[in-house]
C-alpha cells in the first residue's frame, strides 16, 4: 500500500495532537486513531494515484468510500471493526473540513455496516457473592487473598474498571464514603464506597506487608510493585472454574453485574451512567436490553401459555 502524502501525514499529526490537548484522549485511543486514519489515507494515496493533497480529499466521492470499505473488508475485517475505523475517519474529516474549508459530505455520508452488538454477560447476584467469598483462598498467602478479595469487591460493589481499581494510590487513603476515580478520557467521577468494599480494603491494608506511601499503588504485587491486570484475570479464572461459571465470568463482567443489578433494583439509568463513567447514555442503555432479556426468560419459564 502506498504511503500517505506529506500533507496528509502532517494533517493527521496535527489532529492527533489536538485530541491529546483538547479532548484528553488516552494514548491507546490516539494510537488506534493514528492506525485507522493512517490506513485510510494510505489507501487514498494508492486509489487516487499517489501524492493526494488536501484538495483531493475534498473531491472524494461515495464510490471512493465504498472502494475503501471493500478494500478493508477484503482483509478480513469484521463489521464492528470497520464501523470503528469509519467513525475515526469521519472525526478526522470533520476536523479537516473546519480547518481547510473542505467539502467532506461524501465521507460523512458513508454508512457503517450493520452488526449485532454483543450484550454484556453479567453474573447473577449469588454468583458474584460466591466469587468474592471464594477469592481469598486462591493464593498461598493470607494477605494476597485479602488483596484479591478487595479488588473484586471494588469491581462489583463500585462498578470500577480493572484499570481504575488498580490505579488507586496510597494518596487515596484514608478511605471515606466515596472514591474519586479518574476514568477513561480523563473523565473524573465520584462513586460511593460501600461499607463491604471499605471493610475488604481495610482488611487487606492491615495484612499487607509493604509500606503504604502516598505515591505507591494501593494494590501491591508479591514483591511490592503494582498489582497487574493479568493476575486479577488469572485468579478470577481459577475461581470461576471452581464455581462452574462460564468463561464470560471475567473481571469486567463484575462491572456489568454492578450495572445490571442496580437497574434490576430500580436504579435510574442516568445515575448508573454517572457511576460507570460513560460519556454517552447510549453506552449505558445496553443494560436495559440485558434486563429486558432476563424478564423475557422469566416470562417464558413462568407463564402458562408460554409453556405450551
Catalytic residue among 8, 161, 198, 220: 161
In the annotation, is 255 catalytic? yes
**Among 135, 155, 156, which residue's Cα sits nearest to residue 147?**
135
Q: Is 255 exposed, middle or buried (0-12, 13-18, 19+ CB in 10 A)?
A: buried
Q: What Rg, from alpha-carbon coordinates, does the chain have?
A: 24
Catalytic residue among 121, 189, 252, 294: 252
In the annotation, is 117 catalytic? no
Catalytic residue among 278, 294, 305, 308: 278
Question: Which set of grid coordinates corresponds to residue 41?
Answer: 489515507
Catalytic residue among 73, 90, 184, 189: 184
Q: CA 286 → CA 84, 121, 160, 276, distances in Å? A: 18, 11, 17, 13
Cα 7 from Cα 12, distance rounded (Å):
9
In the annotation, is 278 catalytic? yes
Please say whether the beta carbons of 291 and 263 come within 8 A. Answer: yes
Beta-carbon contacts of 148 under 8 Å, excluding residues fewer than 6 positions away, are 135, 136, 138, 139, 231, 232, 235
Catalytic residue among 33, 156, 204, 287: 287
3 state SS of 155: helix
Beta-carbon contacts of 245 under 8 Å, excluding residues fewer than 6 positions away, are 123, 127, 131
Q: What's CA 59's distance to the chain center, in Å?
A: 36
Q: Which residues are catalytic?
A: 161, 184, 252, 255, 278, 287
Amino acid at each position: 500500500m502506498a504511503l500517505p502524502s506529506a500533507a496528509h501525514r502532517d494533517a493527521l499529526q496535527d489532529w492527533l495532537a489536538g485530541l491529546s490537548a483538547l479532548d484528553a484522549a488516552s494514548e491507546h485511543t490516539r494510537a488506534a486513531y493514528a492506525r485507522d486514519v493512517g490506513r485510510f489515507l494510505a489507501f487514498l494515496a494508492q486509489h487516487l494515484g499517489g501524492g493526494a493533497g488536501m484538495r483531493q480529499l475534498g473531491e472524494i466521492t461515495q464510490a471512493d468510500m465504498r472502494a475503501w470499505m471493500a478494500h478493508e473488508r477484503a482483509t478480513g475485517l469484521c463489521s464492528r471493526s470497520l464501523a470503528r475505523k469509519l467513525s475515526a475517519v469521519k472525526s478526522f474529516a470533520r476536523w479537516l473540513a473546519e480547518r481547510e474549508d473542505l467539502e467532506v459530505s461524501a465521507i460523512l455520508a458513508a454508512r457503517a455496516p450493520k452488526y449485532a452488538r454483543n450484550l454484556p454477560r453479567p453474573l447473577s447476584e449469588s454468583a458474584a457473592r460466591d466469587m468474592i467469598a471464594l477469592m481469598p483462598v486462591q493464593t498461598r498467602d493470607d494477605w494476597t487473598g485479602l488483596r484479591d478479595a478487595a479488588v473484586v469487591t471494588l469491581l462489583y460493589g463500585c462498578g470500577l474498571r480493572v484499570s481504575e481499581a488498580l490505579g488507586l494510590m496510597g494518596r487515596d487513603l484514608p478511605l471515606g464514603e466515596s472514591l474519586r476515580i479518574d476514568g477513561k478520557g480523563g473523565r473524573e467521577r465520584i462513586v460511593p464506597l460501600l461499607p463491604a468494599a471499605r471493610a475488604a480494603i481495610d482488611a487487606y491494608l492491615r495484612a499487607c506487608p509493604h509500606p503504604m506511601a502516598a505515591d505507591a499503588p494501593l494494590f501491591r504485587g508479591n514483591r511490592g510493585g503494582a498489582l497487574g491486570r493479568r493476575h486479577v484475570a488469572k485468579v478470577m479464572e481459577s475461581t470461576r472454574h471452581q464455581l462452574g461459571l462460564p468463561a464470560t465470568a471475567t473481571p469486567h463482567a463484575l462491572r456489568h453485574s454492578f450495572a445490571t443489578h442496580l437497574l434490576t433494583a430500580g436504579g435510574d439509568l442516568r445515575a448508573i451512567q454517572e457511576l460507570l463513567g460513560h460519556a454517552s447514555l447510549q453506552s449505558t442503555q445496553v443494560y436495559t436490553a440485558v434486563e429486558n432479556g432476563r424478564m423475557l426468560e422469566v416470562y417464558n419459564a413462568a407463564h402458562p401459555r408460554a409453556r405450551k
